[in-house]
Structure 1
Amino acid sequence: MMQIKHGFQGQWSIILPYFIVDRMGKNPMMNDLYFHSLGYFPNAKYHYINRPEGCPENILIYCTKGGGWIELDGKMQAVGENQFVILPANKAHRYGANELNSWSIYWIHFKGYKSELFSKVYGQVISLDSENTLRIDERFKLFEDIYNVLLDSYDDSALQYANSGLAYFLASILYVKRSGDPKTENKYGTSLIHLATHYMNQNIGNKLKLSDIARHFGYSVSYFYRLFYRNMGIAPMEYFNQLKVQRSCYYLINSTMKVNQISIMVGFDDPYYYSRLFKKMMGVSPVRYRAVNKQATPLI
């Protein structure tokens, strides 16, 4: 039988240059979860991959139509419509499309120390809710949006946006569908909060409300608040403001930006509100903090 790695009609994909992947791996703002490559293979007849030595990255395969199979640890499993599987890095594996009714797949190669959040589902073929068409359409739109952003630019803001989207995409298929099940709340709650704090980190410069964050992860405000507080011991927006103040501390010490400029950088249009919040959390004003922690004339 013919075997093809890529080159399917209508496919699209992007593989980030090595130096970009290396840069993300060394950047503390991005190295928790980040891309290596991603793509879409429609009607991928004769698709076949064999990696006896495994792959340096984790691989997500999300089947939208048709079917195929994966082999991991000597075990073969079928992968059908609206199912996904994550293959762990550095483990031998094979996968391919069915000869008849070949699969259409979205795929992602990703890395980062938070990849271990998904270790419990490595190698498991998991079915998604096929009746929630809105959620499915949102995933596809997000995936294509990430692809277009990476096509346009490799600057840090584009990479941070894409990697934040990666975290949300993974959360949307692994955790959101379980949100109504109390038996799985404790099991998956902590991992979801890790993704939520990652999302907050990536959006420090934006003016997000609690409803924005909850909606991003597909939760009601009350449920998200309760889950976050239970796991973190602090209200979500209080935590988000702490992140903003912490980031502004970095700017105060390591830049020559004025306080009102830093205020905008961390998502506050009103520098007076920012200064009051900073003093409440840090015990001193931003100007005083800079004077104490930086051997330079403070800028105002």
Structure 2
Amino acid sequence: MAEVQDLNIERLHLTDMEIHICGSQQCSQGHSYGPAVRDYFLIHYIHRGKGSFKVDKKEFELKRGEGFVIWPHLLSYYQADQKNPWQYSWIGFTGLKAEDYLKEAGITKAKPFFKTQKPEQISAIFNQMTETGNLKKSKEIKLMGLLYLFLAELIENTEQQLKNKDLKQEYLKKAVNYIDRNYSRPDLKITDIASYLSLNRSYLWQLFNELLNMSPQQYLIEFRMEKAALLLENYKLKVKSAALSVGYEDPFNFSKIFKKTMGISPSHYKNGQTNR
């Protein structure tokens, strides 16, 4: 059963923020709403379960600790999962600062969803919003305070994510520099790079896949092959010498990897026979 509070606030649209509606619901299996439009921002936060949100021909699968924002005048549709339907709370609002606050929290028309690192804390905020229905005089004031508190948590969460991203970029930069200085070592291993950065191998693998969409091993191979290509083309080195120069003691193995990576054998590449 849905719990809804329609505040019937006089909508001046000249204030920083004003709340239109809030509530909560445990959805039944496959329960859906829309396609429909709203004339205010409408946040849904998922306490448990999962479902999907569709807007602007895009679909997002969302679960506990995540949420979505319906933008004013945008056609949207959302549906609870058939097996594990979501329970969510919602709050609708407008105001001069509404879109600015959402953007600070990393929420835009192109990215109308969010994820919190503190699901229990955010759930508690929304539960307090629902409980304001029992208040007489201070309902609107408390709801406004809770909405600001929720947005503040999202903004802090976004700031921390940016810091984490900056840190990841710094780790990646150091890893790439380490490879640049050591790629010619035949004994170079991915664990050496991880040890140099004081990271475990699995985190290093995750880092490269997240930021470069490839594993550290694949990056090292491609880096070595690009270096070998330059040596073959500019210095006309023999295949064996080019292999040794980029860390391969077995020229046959080097040639096999070079062809797989570059699409042509090293001897053909050296002679300018670039047609595959």
TM-score by length of 1: 0.48
Selected match of 2:147 from 166, 170, 190: 166
Q: Report the AA paired with residue 61 of structure 1.
A: H
Which residue number in structure 2 is paired with residue 121 of structure 1?
107
Question: Judging changes above 3 Å, is the alpha-carbon distance between structure 1 residues 62 and 89 closer, same or farther for their aligned structure 2 residues?
Answer: same
Which residue number in structure 1 is paired with residue 89 of structure 2?
106
Question: Once the two structures are superposed, what CA deviation does each residue of 1:116-170 show, in whole Å capped at 9, x if it has no partner?
Answer: 11145134332222xxxxx4333333323233334322x4x43222212111112
Equivalents in 1 of 2:91, 2:13: separation in Å? 20
Alignment of 1:144-183 (within 5 A): 144-153=127-136, 155=137, 157-172=138-153, 174-180=154-160, 183=163
Alignment of 1:1-300 (within 5 A): 8=1, 11-17=2-8, 21-22=9-10, 25-26=11-12, 31-52=15-36, 54-117=37-100, 118-119=102-103, 121-122=107-108, 123-129=111-117, 135-153=118-136, 155=137, 157-172=138-153, 174-180=154-160, 183=163
Question: Judging changes above 3 Å, is the alpha-carbon distance between structure 1 residues 151 and 96 closer, same or farther for their aligned structure 2 residues?
Answer: same
Secondary structure at 2:97's aligned position in 1?
A: helix
Segments of structure 2 that go 5 or more residues without pairing to the other structure are: 166-276
Q: Following TM superposition, by how much is the alpha carbon of 1:183 offset from its aligned partner in structure 2, in angstroms?
A: 4.3
Q: Does the 8 A contact of 1:41 with 1:106 survive in 2?
A: yes
Flag the structure with larger Rg: 2
Q: Report the AA paired with residue 171 of structure 1.
A: A
RMSD over aligned Cα atoms = 2.7
Identity among equivalent pairs (%): 17
Question: Judging changes above 3 Å, is the alpha-carbon distance between structure 1 residues 75 and 167 closer, same or farther for their aligned structure 2 residues?
Answer: same
Q: Does the 8 A contact of 2:18 with 2:144 survive in 1?
A: yes
Equivalents in 2 of 1:178, 1:93: separation in Å? 25
Question: Judging changes above 3 Å, is the alpha-carbon distance between structure 1 residues 184 and 32 closer, same or farther for their aligned structure 2 residues?
Answer: farther
Secondary structure at 1:113's aligned position in 2?
A: coil
TM-score by length of 2: 0.51
Q: Following TM superposition, by how much is the alpha carbon of 1:184 offset from its aligned partner in structure 2, in angstroms?
A: 8.4
Q: Following TM superposition, by how much is the alpha carbon of 1:114 offset from its aligned partner in structure 2, in angstroms?
A: 1.1
Equivalents in 2 of 1:162, 1:66: separation in Å? 25
Q: Does the 8 A contact of 1:70 with 1:93 survive in 2?
A: yes
Q: Report the AA paired with residue 157 of structure 2.
A: K
Secondary structure at 1:175's aligned position in 2?
A: helix
Q: Does the 8 A contact of 1:49 with 1:94 survive in 2?
A: yes
Q: Report the AA paired with residue 36 of structure 1.
A: H
